[in-house]
Amino acid sequence: MSHPAFDASLRALIDSARASLEAGDDSLAFNTRARRDGHDPEQVRAALQQAQLQLKGRQKFGVGADSMLFTRDGYEQATRGWIAAEHAERMRAAGASSIADLGSGIGADSIAFARAGLRVDAVERDAETAALTAENLSGFADARVHAADAEQFDVGAADAVWLDPARRSGSKRRMTPADWSPSLDFAFGLAKTHLLGVKLGPAVPHEVLPAEAEWQWVGEGTQTLEAAVYWGGAEREPGLRSALLRTSDGRFELRSSAADAAGVETAPLGRYLHEPHGTVIRAGLLPVLAAELGAGLVSESIAYLTSETHVAHPFAASFEVQEVLPLHAKAIAKRMRELQIGTLEIKQRGTGIEPADFRKRLKLQGPNSATLVLTRIEGDHHAVIARRIV
């Protein structure tokens, strides 16, 4: 599975470039030194590019990125290492022993599948990317890479299929699901014959997803990173909806059956205001979170919750309400001066206000800090001065 462009000498040059950049050298310094030592200019450029991408890749893959090869687009689109491991565990737990990874990119998910003991066929249409995928999978005897079109590849021998439909064409994002490649019709059709997992962007509209499948939104820290659809026997329960979150405190999951879906009642603003994590909102799990917090909505169709008691929850940031003001910039600026607020976190939902622009109007000065939440409360616009708890 070796590729002649990335032989041992170029691998060593990449390692040298990465060490140089880590030591604080700039690209020009390494370029000059490497060419003076007799290295081919094209190899030096390739080594520098890979070293830069490997260092950046540590954000997604930890130090494992140091042995991976990337394209720039491939890195941006690659699944984070821990999420790929979640995908692999889900497919293994569903009974998969072999899997076709259609649209594998640089192989992040394929690597996780191989580490989980699955036989892997990674399929990537772009020949350059497929060559790098082959390098990334070269340590796994049961992994093969195919430079082929995902919709034309014969997946019959595999008992599971994983897809990550391309949502970009060059630098442009394909906004309409019908334009994704492979298409969702093709992807979901595979559930008739295979255990199926499909990775999608977090903003995917619910109406394009099969109701009988399991939908899971995945996040890390404050970010919502992806939606995954499990079907064809890979779902833990038909119609399951879940949010999976990793924070510095651990791994957390919130779940509910689609059959259990219910609304959330509005409630008068209480002592605490809660901001649900994006995974909860995307997954439609506000009723579950509200029940666990003993909270209601501050206003209809606004995804802030409120309660009289505080319950720490990994899927919600909580704030203690200190004051409520009408949403008038002059009145708020005056109150900020009185409170000597110089550091202000501004949040908004349902107002159309851009926090960065609003901040300029407040002319903040002073040693104190606070959070300002601009939103609707029981239908009317207000500004809530609050103290962040979690």
203-232 per-position pLDDT tens digit: 999 999 999 999 999 999 999 999 999 999
Task: Give mean pLDDT, residues 62-69.
Answer: 95
Query: What does the DSSP 8-state code read for residue 67?
Result: G
Q: What is the mean pLDDT of residues 160-168?
A: 86
Q: What's the rounded Cα separation, in Å, for the pair 81 and 87? A: 10
Please report how many Cα atoms fall inside a 13 Å half-sphere around the Cα of residue 131, on the Cβ side.
8
Structural tokens at position 96: 């998969």
pLDDT per residue over 124-157, tens digit each? 999 999 999 999 999 999 999 999 999 999 998 9
Does the structure show a pLDDT above 90 at 320? yes
Mean pLDDT for the stretch of residues 301-306: 96
pTM value is 0.91
Find the mean pLDDT for residues 21-46. 92
Q: C-alpha angle with apex 112: 72 to 196, nearest 5 degrees?
A: 100
**Domain map of the chain by residue range?**
4-67, 75-257, 272-388
Averaged pLDDT score across all residues of the chain: 93
Dihedral sign (CA 146, 151, 156, 159): positive
| CATH architecture, domain 75-257 | 3-Layer(aba) Sandwich (3.40)
Residues 6+ away with beta carbon under 8 Å from 274 = 289, 293, 295, 304, 305, 306, 307, 313, 316, 317, 318, 319
pLDDT of residue 3: 40
The reported pLDDT for the residue numbered 172 is 55
pLDDT tens sequence across 177-207: 777 888 999 999 999 999 999 999 999 999 9
pLDDT at 355: 96
CA–centroid distance for 135 within its chain: 25
pLDDT at 76 over 60: yes
Query: How much is the pLDDT for 263?
Result: 84
Residue 304 has pLDDT above 80, yes or no: yes
pLDDT band at 6 (very low <50, low <70, confident <90, very high): confident
* Residue 185 to residue 202: CA distance in whole angstroms: 18
Report the alpha-carbon distance of residue 229 to residue 196 in Å, rounded.
Answer: 8
